[in-house]
Amino acid sequence: MTKKQTKTIGYLRVSTSEQDLGANKSEILMLANQKHLDQVEFIEEQASGRVSWRKRQIAKVIDELNDGDSLIVSELSRLGRSMLECMEILSIAMQRGICVYSVKGNWQLDHSIQSKIVAMAFENEDAVVEGASRAQEALDRMDFFKPDIVLADIDMKDLTGFDLSQKIKADSKFNTVKVLLLASDLEDFNKNLFDAVS
C-alpha cells in the first residue's frame, strides 16, 4: 500500500516590503527538519494585519490543505489580525486534520488545541506562560514555576484534567491554585467528575 503524500506549507506574512523573511524561513526549515516533515513549500504574502484572513492567501492555503498536511508559521499571530481570527483558523485546521506548527513557543497544535490557544492569549498579556505536554510534567514543574493558574485539557495523554486537578488540590502547597479545565464540544463533559474536583 502506497503511503499518502502529505504537504507541508511554510506561511510567511509581512506588513511591509522592507521586512526580511530570511530568518523566518531558516527557523521554519529547522523546525520542519526536527519534526521530520515533508519538503517545505513557502507561501509569502505582504498584507496588512487589518485585512481579514478570508481575503488573504492564508484562506487559500487552509482550503487546499488536507488531513495529514502541515502548516508552519513563525508565530501564531501571523495567521490572523486578532485572537478570534487565529482561533477560527486553528479550529478549521483541527476539524480538517491539518497540523499547525509555530516556531515561536515550539508549539504543535493538534488535539490539545484549546490549551494552546488560551496560552497564546495569556502571552499577549503581562503573564509568564510555561507549557507542558503531559500532566505529570506539569506536576513536576509546579515547585519551580509556582503558578497562579493551571490550564489543562480534560483529555490528556497520561492523566485526565480531573485527575490533575485532584492531585494539585491534594498538595497543601498548591491547594489555592486555580485550575481551569478546557473541553471542546466533541468531548464528553462529566459533570460528576467536575463537581468532585470543584
Tell me if 151 is assigned to some domain. yes
Tell me if 53 is assigned to some domain. yes
Tell me if 98 is assigned to some domain. yes
Tell me if 177 is assigned to some domain. yes
Q: How is residue 175 written as a grid cell? A: 491547594
CA neighbor of 15 nearest in space, from 42, 45, 43 = 45
What value does the mean pLDDT of the chain take? Answer: 78
pLDDT of residue 28: 94
Is the pTM higher than 0.75? The answer reads: no
End-to-end alpha-carbon separation of the chain, Å? 50
Same domain, yes or no, for 45 and 78? yes
**What residues make up the domain containing 62?**
8-110
Collapsed DSSP state (helix, strand, coil) of residue 33: helix
How many separate domains does the chain show? 2
Neighbours of 114 (CB within 10 A): 23
**pLDDT tens-digit map of 153-186:** 777 767 888 888 889 989 999 988 888 776 654 4
Rounded Cα distance between 43 and 61, Å, is 8
Q: How is residue 158 written as a grid cell? A: 497520561
Same domain, yes or no, for 98 and 155? no
